């Protein structure tokens, strides 16, 4: 490891000094989700102060600096610099969030924000409205899918290479405030004055019946409303005849732990352990199923990938360790830590790791805090783990056994019961070049412009299927790529053609009012992990 330079040593000194005053800055301590139902306790600032180790020497230094330092110090500016460094000394998931970042993070977890109610994409350098949320402010004033957003208030956003998140910030704002949106619609300029209001973000992306007996639910994150959304979707599918559920947690990085506990409770028998928490200053706390779950007899398959983390791993681990469901995919992220939020009066906050969580067999799935922690996923690809289960590194000292005798491992994510490697059988040079240039996406944007009125009228999967059958997407797409100097060989098309056409059909489905319900039923037909779960 390289020796720290003078600037870094100075920064470390400030870190140490700042630890002393940290509790003084605390206005309110957020609460950890500790029970399936009920109010979590609030930790007082007095408790935080009394729990500190002896920092007497540092207190003397701080007092001396305050009384004798040669220049006037900007305490607020120094604090902003040193807080991230303090938390960086702890673990990868203890973080400081400035006001704007904390607001965005909390909005994501709460599942709501104040905005205008649209979804948009940026295929080139202009935002294109892909979906208008029903009943939202934008729909009420007449914004339509396909509209090109060229200006927000006095800020031009078309043709200026503005990052997409910057566009989002311009459109969001306080409740009941006005924002002017200028759009280009079929060559004509139209402007709208929109009053921002509360927009609820769904965490259940989609739910539908794959066949007569199998349902599919995809959960993107664990927000405040995730459990109620999930339960509503599951009950609806059961009424449609679902006897087996494929629950997709791929790409789900977690969120509120209590939502994962509530979902686990729906599948487990009374008295079965869901998870337990433990830390140096937190006594072990166990969470058990209460036996009132409505899905205890439901056959269950859980899909995970390298980006399934935290609450996703709590759910997958509880199902795996209780021999309750079959886990499909690749090894999950490996985050077995519980963060507790602390909020400051200026709108900023920190999230401090206070405990590790353990699955029912006793394993903690937190991966090691290596120097290349941020590049762990990249290393998995590099070392072949995404292609072969034999490349997964396991620690025999962290081997556990489920009640049914299945061997499971801790220390590095959830290893699936059925490993499903990345499917490369349909990969060709033509497909790679199309992906690099986002040609499928650009083609669908052009296609949807040409068929906008027809696409807006499609509100059922049956209508979508009927429309897609009228198209010659192979002819149109190959003409589109040829105009960009890219033509596949016959062999390349034989290898990748059907995958590309399926991608196009799914993406076209998403441009209709069906949104994700127009996308996933089509896309899952070429999804190797989902197909493996469906066929087993």
CA distance 448 to 186: 12
Which helix (H) or strand (E) element contains residue 363? none
pLDDT at 215: 98
Question: 200, 222, 250: which is the final residue of a domain?
Answer: 200
* Whether residue 261 is found in the same domain as residue 185: no
The answer as to whether 100 is a domain residue is: no
Q: Are strands 273-279 and 282-288 parallel, antiparallel or unpaired?
A: antiparallel
| Residue 314 maps to a domain | yes
Q: Could you list the active site residues?
A: 310, 321, 335
* Residue 441 and residue 414 in one domain: no
Q: What is the CATH number of the domain that holds 152?
A: 2.30.42.10
Strand partners, 351: 95, 341
- The reported pLDDT for the residue numbered 122 is 85
Domain CATH for 385: 3.90.226.10
Contacts 24+ apart (CB under 8 A), 54-61: 55/19, 55/20, 58/16, 58/17, 58/19, 58/20, 59/20, 61/17
Instruction: Check whether residue 381 and residue 474 sit in a common domain.
Output: no
d(CA 14, CA 488): 59
Angle at alpha carbon of residue 220, lines to 314 and 501, rounded to 5°: 130
| Beta carbons of 263 and 296 less than 8 angstroms apart | no
348 in Cβ contact with 100 (< 8 Å): no
CA distance 514 to 498: 23
Distance between alpha carbon 278 and the CA centroid of its chain, in Å? Answer: 25
Q: Which pLDDT does position 120 carry in this prediction?
A: 87
Can you give the pLDDT of all 536 residues of the chain as single tens digits?
Answer: 444 443 443 444 444 444 434 333 333 333 333 333 322 333 333 444 445 567 788 778 878 888 898 998 887 887 888 889 888 889 999 999 998 888 888 887 887 788 999 888 887 778 888 888 888 899 889 898 888 999 999 999 988 888 888 898 899 888 999 999 999 887 888 999 999 998 888 999 999 999 999 999 999 999 999 999 999 999 999 999 999 999 999 999 999 999 999 999 999 999 999 999 999 999 999 999 999 999 999 999 999 999 999 999 999 999 999 999 999 999 999 999 999 999 999 899 999 999 999 999 999 999 999 878 888 998 999 999 999 998 998 888 999 999 999 999 999 999 999 999 998 899 999 999 999 999 999 999 999 989 999 999 999 999 999 999 999 999 999 999 999 999 999 999 999 999 999 999 999 999 999 999 999 999 999 999 999 999 98
Strands 214-219 and 244-248: parallel
* The two structure tokens encoding residue 69: 């330092």
Cα 370 to chain centroid distance, Å, stands at 23
Query: Domain residues for 510?
Result: 429-535
Same-domain check for residues 196 and 208: no
298 domain residue, yes or no:
yes
Nearest by Cα to 202 from 112, 139, 114 = 112
Angle at Cα 252 formed by Cα 344 and Cα 331, nearest 5°? 120
Q: 258: closest CA among 450, 456, 38?
A: 38
Shared-domain flag, residues 11 and 126: no
Distance CA 522, CA 515 (A): 12
Residues 505, 381 share a domain = no
Residue 107 resides in a domain = no
Alpha-carbon span 275 to 273, nearest angstrom: 6
Alpha-carbon span 315 to 49, nearest angstrom: 35
In this structure, the answer to whether residues 143 and 244 fall within a common structural domain is no
Q: Tell me, yes or no, whether 474 and 329 share the same domain.
A: no
Clarify whether residues 345 and 474 are in a common domain. no
Residue 94 lies in a domain: no
Element (H, E) at 132: strand 127-132
By three-state DSSP, how is residue 188 classified? strand
Tell me, yes or no, whether 95 lies in a domain: no
The token pair that represents 138 in the structure block: 């934008």
* pLDDT for res 53: 64
Q: Does a structural domain hold residue 96?
A: no
Among 379, 396, 419, identify where a domain stops.
419
Instruction: State whether 143 and 210 are in the same domain.
Output: no
DSSP string, 189-256: EEEEEEE-EEEEPPSEEEEEESSSSEEEEEE--B-TTHHHHHHHHHHHHHHTT--EEEEE-TT---B-
In this structure, the dihedral spanned by the alpha carbons of residues 88, 90, 93 and 96, taken in order and rounded to 10 degrees, is: -50
Q: Are residues 324 and 230 in the same domain?
A: yes
Q: CA of 350: how far to CAs of 56, 80, 105, 246, 310, in Å?
A: 24, 12, 11, 36, 18
Give the pLDDT confidence score for residue 52 in this predicted structure. 54
Q: Count CA atoms within 13 Å of residue 225 on its CB side.
A: 14
| Tally of structural domains, the chain | 4
- The reply to whether 439 and 410 lie within a common domain is no
Domain final residue, candidates 158, 176, 200:
200
265 inside domain:
yes
């Amino acid at each position: 490891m390289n020796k720290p330079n003078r600037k870094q040593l100075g920064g470390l000194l400030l870190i140490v000094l700042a630890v002393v005053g940290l509790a003084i800055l605390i206005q309110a301590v957020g609460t950890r989700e500790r029970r399936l139902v009920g109010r979590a306790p609030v930790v007082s600032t007095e408790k935080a102060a009394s729990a500190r180790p002896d920092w007497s020497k540092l207190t003397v230094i701080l007092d001396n600096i305050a009384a004798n330092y040669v220049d006037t110090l900007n305490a607020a500016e120094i604090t902003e610099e040193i807080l991230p460094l303090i938390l960086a000394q702890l673990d990868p998931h203890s973080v400081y969030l400035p006001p704007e970042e904390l607001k965005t993070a909390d909005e994501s977890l709460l599942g709501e924000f104040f905005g205008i109610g649209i979804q948009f994409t940026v295929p080139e350098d202009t935002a294109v409205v892909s979906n208008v949320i029903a009943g939202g402010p934008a729909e009420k004033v007449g914004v339509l899918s396909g509209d090109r957003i060229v200006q927000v208030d006095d800020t031009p956003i078309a043709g200026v290479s503005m990052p997409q998140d910057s566009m989002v910030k311009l459109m969001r704002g306080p409740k009941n405030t006005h924002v002017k949106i200028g759009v280009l619609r079929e060559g004509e300029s139209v402007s709208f004055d929109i009053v921002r209001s509360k927009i609820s973000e769904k965490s259940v992306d989609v739910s539908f019946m794959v066949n007569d007996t199998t349902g599919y639910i995809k959960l993107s994150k664990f927000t405040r409303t995730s459990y109620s959304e999930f339960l509503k979707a599951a009950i609806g599918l059961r009424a449609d005849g679902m006897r087996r559920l494929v629950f997709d947690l791929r790409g789900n990085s977690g969120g509120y732990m209590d939502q994962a506990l509530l979902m686990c409770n729906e599948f487990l028998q009374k008295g079965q352990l869901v998870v337990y928490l433990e830390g140096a200053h937190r006594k072990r706390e166990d969470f058990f199923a209460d036996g009132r779950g409505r899905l205890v007899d439901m056959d269950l398959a859980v899909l995970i990938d390298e980006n399934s983390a935290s609450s996703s791993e709590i759910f997958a681990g509880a199902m795996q360790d209780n021999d309750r469901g079959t886990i499909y995919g690749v090894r999950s992220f490996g985050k077995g830590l519980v963060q507790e939020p602390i909020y400051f009066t200026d709108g900023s906050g920190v999230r401090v790791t206070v405990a590790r969580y353990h699955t029912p067999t006793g394993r903690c799935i937190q991966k090691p805090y290596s120097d290349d922690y941020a590049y762990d996923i990249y290393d998995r690809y590099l070392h072949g783990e995404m292609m072969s289960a034999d490349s997964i590194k396991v620690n025999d000292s962290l081997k556990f056994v489920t009640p049914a005798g299945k061997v499971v491992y801790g220390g590095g994510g959830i290893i699936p019961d059925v490993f499903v490697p990345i499917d490369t059988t349909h990969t060709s040079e033509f497909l790679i070049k199309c992906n690099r240039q986002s040609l499928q996406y650009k083609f669908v944007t052009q296609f949807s412009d040409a068929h906008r009125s027809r696409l807006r009228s499609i509100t059922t999967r049956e209508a979508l299927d009927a429309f897609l059958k009228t198209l010659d997407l192979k002819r149109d797409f190959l003409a589109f790529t040829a105009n960009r100097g890219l033509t596949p060989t016959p062999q390349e098309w034989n290898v990748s053609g059907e995958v590309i056409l399926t991608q196009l059909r799914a993406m076209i489905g998403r441009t209709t009012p069906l949104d994700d319900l127009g996308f996933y039923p089509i896309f899952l037909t070429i999804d190797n992990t989902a197909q493996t779960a469906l066929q087993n």
